[in-house]
């Protein structure tokens, strides 16, 4: 037995430049014959789901498809239907990771958005269980970080294991996905209008401008950080990270007014907007927001109306980033990045099925936001990026 993985597929090795997606999918099927554990780390839009369906068809037998959310099951069923493979569903069971404890003794697995299997100690135990008894495990994901790849290698170290990687910028470079217009939109903190409360201590609160609040909060974060590293007490770490989270939420909140103005400018383009909070999503969406506090039926109805063109805008917080086919998106807006590459690649992937996709990432200049942007775009092709101020964006012709 051995373990093998590859950094990234060299797409120039395919002799036929036509039908690259089909060739990639067929290679995935071929790899599955050699490697019982195969992770397809492919950019959204390359065709991971169809590769998985072809693998199921090739090997036969019973399969369990694990998903992160129940509404992803409907999406999978539509994929089988779209490709004329409904008959395969007779041998497929769907389950959510939340109920994985009921599905640890299956023959073959498709782990949709497989990075979700590493989210908790309990899920890691389930992953180790299936590593020991499953015939085949196929993981699907748009992007993995170094630690996640190492986790998979460690868990599946006793079997033949392969990571088949097609990154986003490579898929764009070779014409599998259209070249997007990605705008990094800078906004500034207000230093005159005072409206944000800052708590000095339990008896004193002052009202600050955005800039003053940010400076005070950053100083507090540094203080809490120093306290933790001096004492190494876990509760102090929690307090430090809690203050950092407050700052991140504030940076998102101050962008609400800018995003609202931009939404007026873009007219009736079909778009998706990713927000930091449910409150922000509701404020911007006027009732077209998908989040954890609405019913599953309401979510499905909104997605259905969006895909049919009945509504042109959809807003969300953490949902819809993965495993959902949203039809006809022309434009994407990201209000607040996380401090990693995952949120950028997931949300960008949502809009790259448009003919001329546009993606607008808002950030606050001279703040921690710039660190988030730098980390998120570290390995991305910088030639595809355009930096623009909010003022210039608003003056730019559509």
By CB atoms closer than 10 A (0-12, 13-18, 19+), residue 267 is exposed
Same domain, 247 and 293: no
CB count within 10 Å of CB 12 equals 10
- Please check whether residue 82 is in contact with residue 386, taking contact to mean a CB–CB distance below 8 angstroms: no
Number of domains the chain contains: 3
26 is a domain residue: yes
Residue 3 lies in a domain: no
How much is the pLDDT for 350? 67
pLDDT at position 10:
55
68 and 142, same domain (yes or no): yes
Range of the structural domain that residue 222 is part of: 206-253
Q: Which residues in the chain come in under a pLDDT of 50?
A: 2-6
- Asked if residue 83 belongs to a domain, the reply is yes
Please tell me whether residues 223 and 327 are part of one structural domain: no
Does residue 161 sit within a domain?
yes
pLDDT in tens, 170-211: 888 888 888 888 999 999 999 999 999 999 988 899 999 999
In a domain? residue 229:
yes
Residue 354 within any structural domain of the chain: yes
Predicted pLDDT of residue 186: 97
The owner of tokens 């895909």 is 307
Same domain, 169 and 185: no
Same domain, 279 and 382: yes
Which H helix or E strand runs over 172?
helix 168-173
Note whether 16 and 164 are same-domain residues: yes
Q: CA–CA distance from 259 to each of 183, 185, 219, 280, 339 (Å)?
A: 13, 10, 28, 10, 21
Q: Would you say residue 201 lies in a domain? A: no
| Cα first-last separation, the chain | 57
| Residue 360 to residues 94, 183, 249, 317, Cα–Cα distance (Å) | 35, 5, 19, 16
**Do 211 and 298 lie in a common domain?**
no
Task: Report the alpha-carbon distance of residue 134 to residue 302 in Å, rounded.
Answer: 37
Do both 226 and 167 map to the same domain?
no
Residues 144 and 28 in one domain: yes
Instruction: Let me know if 52 is exposed, middle or buried by CB neighbors in 10 A (0-12, 13-18, 19+).
Output: buried
Helix (H) or strand (E) holding 147, with range, is helix 146-155
Instruction: Quote the tokens at residue 134.
Output: 């499953």
What local confidence, expressed as pLDDT, does residue 319 receive? 63
Same domain, residue pair 22 and 162 = yes
Q: What is the pLDDT of residue 174?
A: 85
Say which CATH number the domain at 127 has.
3.40.50.300
Clarify whether residues 329 and 213 are in a common domain.
no
- Are both 156 and 301 inside the same structural domain? no
Sign of the dihedral defined by the CA atoms of residues 41, 45, 48, 51, in that order: negative
Q: Residue holding tokens 């195969």? A: 38
User: Do residues 277 and 269 lie in contact, with contact meaning Cβ atoms separated by under 8 Å?
Assistant: no
pTM of the entire predicted model: 0.77
Structure tokens at 188: 């500034």
Residue 197 maps to a domain: no
């Amino acid at each position: 037995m051995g373990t093998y993985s590859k950094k990234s597929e060299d797409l120039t090795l395919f002799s036929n430049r036509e039908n690259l997606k089909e060739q990639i999918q067929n290679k995935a099927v071929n790899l599955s014959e050699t490697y019982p554990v195969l992770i397809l780390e492919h950019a959204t839009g390359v065709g991971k789901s169809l590769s998985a369906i072809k693998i199921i068809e090739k090997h036969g037998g019973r399969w369990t498809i694990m998903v992160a959310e129940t509404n992803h099951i409907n999406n999978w069923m539509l994929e089988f239907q779209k490709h004329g493979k409904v008959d395969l569903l007779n041998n497929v069971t769907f389950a959510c990771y939340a109920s994985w404890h009921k599905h640890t003794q299956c023959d073959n697995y498709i782990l949709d958005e497989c990075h979700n299997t590493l989210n908790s100690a309990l899920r890691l135990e389930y992953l180790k269980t299936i590593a020991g008894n499953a015939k085949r495990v196929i993981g699907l994901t748009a992007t993995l970080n170094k630690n996640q790849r190492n986790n998979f290698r460690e868990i599946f170290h006793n079997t033949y294991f392969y990571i088949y990687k097609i990154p986003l910028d490579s898929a764009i470079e070779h014409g599998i996905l259209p070249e997007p217009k990605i705008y990094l939109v800078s906004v500034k903190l207000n230093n005159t209008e005072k409206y944000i409360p800052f708590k000095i201590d339990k008896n004193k609160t002052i009202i600050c401008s955005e800039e003053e609040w940010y400076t005070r909060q950053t100083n507090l974060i540094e203080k809490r950080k120093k306290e933790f590293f001096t004492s190494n007490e876990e509760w102090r770490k929690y307090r430090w990270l809690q203050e950092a989270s407050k700052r991140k939420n504030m940076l998102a909140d101050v962008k609400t007014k800018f995003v609202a103005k931009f939404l007026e400018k873009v007219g009736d383009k079909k778009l998706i907007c990713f927000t930091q909070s449910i409150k922000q999503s509701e404020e911007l969406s006027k009732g077209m927001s998908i989040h954890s506090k609405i019913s599953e039926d309401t979510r499905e109805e909104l997605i259905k109306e969006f895909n049919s063109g009945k509504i042109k805008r959809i807003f969300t917080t953490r949902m819809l980033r993965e495993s959902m086919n949203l039809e006809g998106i022309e434009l994407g807006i990201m209000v607040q990045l996380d401090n990693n590459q995952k949120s950028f690649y997931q949300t960008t992937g949502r809009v790259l099925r448009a003919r001329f996709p546009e993606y607008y990432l808002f950030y606050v200049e001279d703040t921690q936001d710039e660190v988030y942007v730098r980390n998120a775009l570290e390995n991305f092709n910088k030639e595809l990026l355009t930096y623009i101020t909010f003022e210039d964006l608003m003056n730019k012709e559509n």
